[in-house]
């Protein structure tokens, strides 16, 4: 299944897009795609409601697409998880996953504007596979257990301001990652049962229609399963939490492309997970 949220910020309606091009209203089943949705077996309840014909058609004409989940409890991000991106950043591939956090309120709709912070001059894009946790996850015994704890997958843009991240951060990256609008997510959340292999997905981005990133998740240093396993040893992953799994080469930090400026258009997509598009505006 694919889950979406449609409507104005703060007033989104949870929905399921159908193969016939319609949208089904999920409010008879759940108030939103939130922590409680996963804890109470939301996907299974939605499947039952669809089979029973209990979900009315939702008129989505002209509606904004919101992030496919409510603000998560945590946004965990993995740095330098593609060897070529680590190289363009001037680093060797890490021996252990590099973890940093983004503020949960950075999560916005996939086509909302990205705001360039006041005084910022090194705004960057990063297309990433986002993993949404579906079950409470702690102290897994092996990576083999990890994918059973995934609720779904989505396209994520880990927007970064590199001066704040690297030059004035004191070594902690979150300052350059947590500005408002710095995590467009969606358009859909695709449930784990519909994604056969998270390590076989094409990952691409464009700026102003020109190609920037073009890679595949098979090139990750640490697989999705390995990341979830290792994170479960150092923190408790809660239903609805988001893991950004890293970005491939082709960002402005590598020096081949200019940083973003107001008016630029960012587009990105991942196989099977849809496409998003943002315009950069000045905060």
The answer to whether position 65 is within a domain reads no
Same structural domain, 255 and 130: yes
Kindly state whether residues 21 and 123 are assigned to the same domain: no
Question: 57 lies in a domain?
Answer: no
pLDDT > 90 in the chain, percent: 92
Span 225-242, mean pLDDT?
Answer: 98
CA 194/CA 13 separation, integer angstroms: 23
Q: Is the pLDDT of residue 172 over 90?
A: no
- Average pLDDT of span 207-212: 98
- Let me know whether 9 and 80 are in one domain: no
Question: Would you state the structure tokens that stand for residue 177, as one six-digit string?
Answer: 């990652």
- pLDDT tens for each residue of 89-110: 777 889 999 999 999 999 999 9
**Judgement on whether residues 20 and 138 belong to the same structural domain of the protein:** no
| One domain for residues 12 and 89 | no
- CB-CB contact of 13 with 7 (8 Å): yes
Mean pLDDT of 13-33: 94
pLDDT of 234 reads 98
Domain-located, residue 20: yes
Question: pLDDT tens-digit profile of 34-88?
Answer: 999 999 999 999 999 999 999 999 999 999 999 999 999 999 999 999 988 777 7
> Half-sphere exposure of 171 toward its Cβ, with a 13 Å CA cutoff?
0
Q: Are residues 123 and 21 in the same domain?
A: no
Assess whether 9 and 111 both reside in one domain: no
Indicate if 45 and 79 belong to the same structural domain: no
Note whether residue 61 is domain-resident: no
Distance between CA 243 and CA 225 in Å, rounded? 12
Do 36 and 125 fall into the same domain?
Answer: no
Reported as a single tens digit per residue, the pLDDT across 106-149 is 999 999 999 999 999 999 999 999 999 999 999 999 999 999 99
Claim to verify: residue 131 and residue 229 sit in the same structural domain = yes
Q: How confident is the model at residue 236 (pLDDT cuts 50, 70, 90)?
A: very high
Rounded to two decimals, what is the model's pTM? 0.96
273 within some domain? yes
68 domain-assigned: no
Whose CA is closest to 243, among 179, 162, 151? 151
Q: What is the pLDDT of residue 88?
A: 76
CATH code, 236: 3.90.850.10
Give the C-alpha separation, 133 to 274, whole Å: 19
Residue 196: the pLDDT is 86
Structural domain that includes position 272: 75-282
Instruction: Give how many domains the chain has, as a whole number.
Output: 2
117 and 12 share a domain?
Answer: no
Does residue 41 lie in a domain region?
yes
Residue 156 lies in a domain: yes
Q: What are phi and psi of 267, to 5 degrees?
A: -130, 145
Based on the fold, state whether residues 9 and 104 are members of the same structural domain.
no
Query: How close are the terminal C-alpha atoms of the chain, in Å?
Result: 36
Residue 3 pLDDT more than 80? Answer: yes
User: What is the model's pLDDT at position 89?
Assistant: 73
């Amino acid at each position: 299944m694919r889950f979406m949220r449609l409507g104005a910020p703060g007033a989104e309606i949870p929905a399921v897009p159908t193969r016939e091009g319609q949208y089904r209203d999920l409010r008879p089943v759940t108030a939103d795609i939130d922590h409680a949705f996963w804890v109470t077996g939301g996907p299974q309840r939605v499947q039952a409601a669809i089979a029973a014909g209990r979900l009315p058609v939702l008129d989505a004409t002209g509606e904004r697409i919101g992030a496919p989940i409510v603000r998560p409890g945590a946004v965990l991000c993995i740095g330098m998880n593609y060897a070529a991106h680590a190289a363009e950043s001037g680093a060797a591939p890490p021996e252990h996953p590099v973890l940093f956090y983004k503020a949960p309120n950075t999560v916005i709709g996939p086509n909302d504007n990205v705001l360039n912070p006041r005084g910022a001059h090194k705004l960057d894009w990063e297309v990433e596979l986002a993993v949404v946790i579906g079950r409470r996850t702690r102290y897994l015994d092996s990576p083999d257990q990890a994918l059973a704890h995934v609720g779904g997958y989505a396209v994520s843009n880990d927007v970064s301001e590199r001066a704040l991240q690297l030059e004035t951060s004191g070594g902690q990256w979150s300052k350059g990652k947590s500005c408002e609008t710095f995590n467009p997510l969606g358009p859909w959340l695709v449930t784990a049962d519909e994604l056969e292999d998270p390590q076989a997905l094409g990952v691409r981005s464009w700026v102003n229609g020109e190609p920037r990133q073009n890679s595949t998740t098979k090139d990750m240093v640490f697989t999705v399963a390995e990341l979830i396993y290792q994170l479960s040893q150092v923190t408790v992953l809660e239903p609805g939490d988001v893991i950004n799994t890293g970005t491939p080469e082709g960002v402005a930090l590598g020096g081949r492309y200019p940083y973003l400026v107001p008016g630029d258009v960012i587009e990105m997509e991942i196989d099977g997970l849809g496409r998003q598009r943002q315009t950069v505006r000045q905060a």
